[in-house]
Amino acid sequence: MTVRMAHLCSWLVALLPVVVACFGMDFPSLDRPGAWLNILGRLTGVAALSLLLMAAILSARVPGFDRPFGGLTKLWQTHHQMGAVALLCVLAHPVLLALAAAEVSLSVAVTTLFPPFDHLATWLGWLALIGMVVFLAPSFHFLGEPEYGRWKWLHRLSGPVIVLALIHTFMLSRTMPGYATEMIWTIMAALAVAAVSWRFVISRRAGRLRYRVDAVDRPANNVVELKLLPAGRRQLHYEVGQFVYLVPYDRRLAAGYGEEHPYTLSSSPLEAGLRIAIKDLGDASRAIQHISPDSEVTIEGPYGRFFTDNNPGGELWIAGGIGITPFLARARHLARTGETADIHLVYCVQDEARALFATELAELAETLEGFKLSLHYFYRQGPLTGEFLSAECPDLAQRTAYVCGPLPLNQLAVRIVREAGIPVSRIHTEEFNLI
Amino acid sequence: MKKITFAAFIAFCASIITLLAVDALTPASHAGEANDELPVFTLAEVAEHDTLDSCWMAIRGKVYDFTDYIPEHPTPPAIMEAWCGREATEGMETKGYGRDHTPAAWAMMEPYLIGILAEE
């Protein structure tokens, strides 16, 4: 199954209750606009709950589950889009029902939205709607760029919101036939509960592997590379270029103690331990620059599927800043396996001081057969251009492109390589702009 | 996506506020409580209208003539026909499977009100 198919399937499953509702629905007097609006109002309610549950199911973060979807970051994009469509549906739902009732009279429209307080079902629906706006507002930047910790904390409101929405639906449900209502919502809710249980209970006990900080290297003044060795019996098995969630347990950290954050592994899977390069980009990653050697961390994963097999035309890697980590990992891995490859790495950085691991990469470029390195400095050469890429890598059109860096560079690089003739199917990006 | 969701949220708030404002500013929507002048019917009189051609129901002490509404009702006519000419509060409150009609559905009955049910 292709990545596209996997995403399409998740959308189809998410919208299945809407299809069932359409089949189970009587369509009375559709010459009346009120009847249409009522049907649309009911269907948007079904779609909102269903998408919300599917988004919860997709957030489980079970290692390996993300692979058919092209990696966890791609899966999150679908999760994010489902959240957006669910929010649009949930906002349309009461408005459409009120407009449908307005056909009878204005007061019926208002009563539809604001019935007497003893009509619990409607008021629980309102609570779910308000809760949904609150927990999704940071995801869609309603109040500007959200702070990661607050966003994550608020996102936990999704649990109570789903419970409220389910009660609201069960109490009012009349859109689908009775047996279908109970069956569909029970199955989806059970899967969502299983997903959330995995995420917040099981994975914390069974999914997190204990590691110890063996060494802390400083490739730049705002970047550390941690070398981790297993502290428990179990070790992480991963593929090159994958990422993990790391939780530090160093009491001396100024921030981020016990908090999980995603980082790409910069080591080869053939190495004894793990290496993780972390740039100071926020409170927790700033604090971790001063993590004590010998302190404990836990690792959960691996996630992601950045590199693909079988690229007969060779590979073009475009890295920006700390986005070098998956490429560094792959180059280190090639050095260990001794494989030959046809790879051209274009490493874009602001200036020489920020060219992380430049010395190691230059050495690898000298020793690895078929591995070429080009450095692009923004301060000297301006933004990355098609001319620069074509001059450095004349056969780029036949290559498979891998891009990892800050979002603006990713977007620019994807545009350039597409213009250069690389089809979308041969362009792979890794983005960590989760919110 | 961010712009669309934010625009939808603002449109939602504006719609709800507009609806409430128009309702508050429309005096007609709060009138119509003059039930005292309505005729009084006994259950026996209601029972004479037990067909789809003339369907009366007694619900919570009031009598309604749903003859014109039956084609609009979401269920097949047979569902409502079973309650024609009867005390139908139970039908309204359970829909036959334990779920009450929505407040909007209750409010929609108002235009079909024709009288008060005589106390036994």
- Specify the CATH number for the domain of residue B80: 3.10.120.10
User: Other CB atoms closer than 10 Å to residue A326's CB: what's the count?
Assistant: 23
Residue B92 lies in a domain: yes
Q: What is the pLDDT of residues A278-326, one digit of tens each?
A: 999 888 899 999 999 999 999 998 998 888 888 888 999 999 989 999 9
Taking the C-alpha atoms of residue A222 and residue A234, their distance in angstroms, rounded to an integer, is: 31
Contact A13, A55 (CB under 8 A): no
Residue B80 lies in a domain: yes
**Token pair belonging to A70:** 């092209």
Alpha helices (runs of H) in A299-357, residue ranges in sequence order: 325-337
Contact B28, B82 (CB under 8 A): no
* Least confidently predicted of A114-123, A402-411, B24-33: B24-33
Helix count and strand count (H, E) for chain B = 5, 6
Say which amino acid occupies A191: L
Taking the C-alpha atoms of residue A396 and residue A279, their distance in angstroms, rounded to an integer, is: 30
Residue B25 lies in a domain: no
Residue B93 lies in a domain: yes
Taking the C-alpha atoms of residue A255 and residue A290, their distance in angstroms, rounded to an integer, is: 10
Q: Taking the C-alpha atoms of A94, A97, A98 and A101 in order, what is their torsion angle to the nearest 10 degrees?
A: -160
Query: What is the extent of the structural domain holding B100?
Result: 37-117
The per-residue pLDDT for A27 is: 67
**Token pair belonging to B21:** 């404002």
Residue B42 lies in a domain: yes
Q: Residue A245 forms beta bridges with which residues?
A: A262, A300
Residue B112 lies in a domain: yes
Is the model's pTM score more than 0.80? no
pLDDT band at A132 (very low <50, low <70, confident <90, very high): very high
Q: What is the pLDDT of residues A163-178, one digit of tens each?
A: 999 999 888 766 666 6
Please tell me which of the candidates A91, A109, A112 has its beta carbon nearest to residue B9: A91
Residue B27 lies in a domain: no
Contact A247, A208 (CB under 8 A): yes
Average pLDDT over residues B60-82: 85
pLDDT band at B28 (very low <50, low <70, confident <90, very high): low
N-term to C-term CA, chain B: 62
For the cut 70, the answer to whether the pLDDT of residue A28 exceeds it is no
Residue B5 lies in a domain: no
Q: How many domains does chain B have?
A: 1
The number of C-beta contacts closer than 8 angstroms across A and B is 103
The per-residue pLDDT for A173 is: 67
Residues of B with CB under 8 A from a CB of A: 1-2, 4-6, 8-9, 11-12, 15-16, 19-20, 22-23, 26, 29-30, 71-76, 95, 97, 99, 102-104, 106-108, 110-111
Q: What is the pLDDT of residues A2-24, one digit of tens each?
A: 888 999 999 999 999 998 888 87
